[in-house]
Amino acid sequence: MQKSLEFTGKNEDAAIAAALEKLGLSREDVSVEVLELAKPGFLGIGGTPAKVKVTFEAPDEPEEIPAPVAEEKPAPTAEKKAAPAVEEKDEESIPVRTSGNYTAAPAGDEKAQRIVEFLTGLLEHMEVEAVPQVSLDEEGNYLVELEGKGLGQVIGHRGETLDAIQQLTGYAVNKGESKRCRIRIDAEGYRAKREESLEKMANRVADKVLRLRRNMTLEPMNAYERHVIHTALQGREDITTYSIGAEPNRRTVVAYSPGENR
């Protein structure tokens, strides 16, 4: 049967970590809903902790294996498979992958100059000492590496601040342009580390789905992170992936699908 408990922490990650330690479960065994975001207060005064609701499958008998996370769907049979929902790929929200060859943007590149000007002003406003270094790949996509101090503030919780900066930069640089360019902004190699972490998690979940022969629904992710999950598992036998729900709570389902990708 499913059970839900609430936990608090100084931030969302701390609250989730406290829940996992208390329950003795791994992150793939639970579904997490953020009830309240942490608020730092003014000068450290009056802040409030983050609150999350953790849902997990509690076994009826002690020897039972805990069931996977929420919104479990029955596995499709060989005779009739459930048609997976089509993953919506918002091109503006899916940045360039970290792999690929990049070269420094040439002098006089107007868009590179606009990227640097916008980010320099934004970083000054955020009181962050960082310098944007712009490069291009063979397809004309821009990669911006932020180099400097205090970049944790720029990255934010699970890269949310970095994503927001990337989106704002794209809007500013592409405004009024007939041909839009893609811009990926990174700091301290966060993007590559996050991709690697997601790919490892995706394969761990896929292994568990094959072992238990039942579907698992992951936590809400943005379009880019869902894209990483789909790509990581697209070649796995007996596994298929699809997305459900609406933004910002859209989730990826890792499904048991015998005969898939054979």
Q: Are 198 and 190 in contact (CB under 8 A)?
A: no
| 8-state DSSP, 78 | S
Clarify whether residues 220 and 150 are in a common domain.
Answer: no
Instruction: Examine the fold and report which residue of 156, 188, 220 is the final residue of a domain before the chain moves on.
Output: 188
Closest-CA residue to 241 (of 85, 70, 78): 85
Do 85 and 215 fall into the same domain? Answer: yes
Q: What is the pLDDT of residue 85?
A: 42
The parent domain of residue 143 ranges over: 101-188
Mean pLDDT of the chain: 79
pLDDT of residue 208: 95
Say what percent of the chain tops pLDDT 70.
Answer: 78
| DSSP result, 4-40 | EEEEEESSHHHHHHHHHHHHT--GGGEEEEEEE--B-
Helix residue ranges, H only, 24-159:
110-125, 151-155
Cross-strand pairs, 136:
103, 142
Whether 218 and 257 share a structural domain: yes
Position 139, amino acid: E
Sequential DSSP letters for 171-207: HHHHTT-SS---EEEEETTHHHHHHHHHHHHHHHHHH
* Of 128, 159, 188, the domain-final residue: 188
CATH of the domain at 113: 3.30.300.20
Q: Which two tokens stand for residue 161?
A: 């601040």
Q: Are residues 92 and 106 in the same domain?
A: no
For residue 43, what pLDDT band results from cuts at 50, 70 and 90?
Answer: very low
Say if residue 240 is in the same domain as residue 219.
yes
Runs of H (alpha helix) within 9-137: 12-23, 110-125
Which of the two residues, 198 and 93, has the higher pLDDT score? 198
Distance CA 143, CA 174 (A): 15
Whether the pLDDT of residue 132 is over 90: the answer is yes
The answer on 65 and 3 residing in a single domain is yes
The last residue of one of the domains, among 70, 88, 115, is 70
Instruction: Let me know whether 249 and 125 are in one domain.
Output: no
Same domain, 90 and 108: no
Q: Considering just the CA atoms, what is the radius of gyration of the chain in Å?
A: 21
pLDDT value for 40: 67
Q: Tell me, what's the pLDDT at 178? A: 84
CATH number at residue 247: 3.30.1370.50
Cβ atoms within 10 Å, residue 80: 7
Same-domain status, 111 and 144: yes
Q: Are 138 and 155 within one domain?
A: yes
81 & 201 share domain:
yes
The rounded distance, in Å, linking the Cα atoms of 144 and 245 is: 32
Nearest partner of 205 among 158, 253, 258, judged by Cα: 253
Instruction: Render pLDDT for 138-197 as a digit per residue (tens, 0 to 9).
Output: 888 999 999 998 788 899 888 889 999 999 999 999 998 888 899 999 999 998 999 999
Indicate the number of domains in the chain. Answer: 3
**Three-class secondary structure of residue 240 per DSSP:** strand
242 C-beta neighbours (distance < 10 Å), count: 20
Residues 222 and 184 in one domain: no
Residue 101 has pLDDT above 70, yes or no: no
Give the pair of three-digit tokens for residue 64: 């039972």
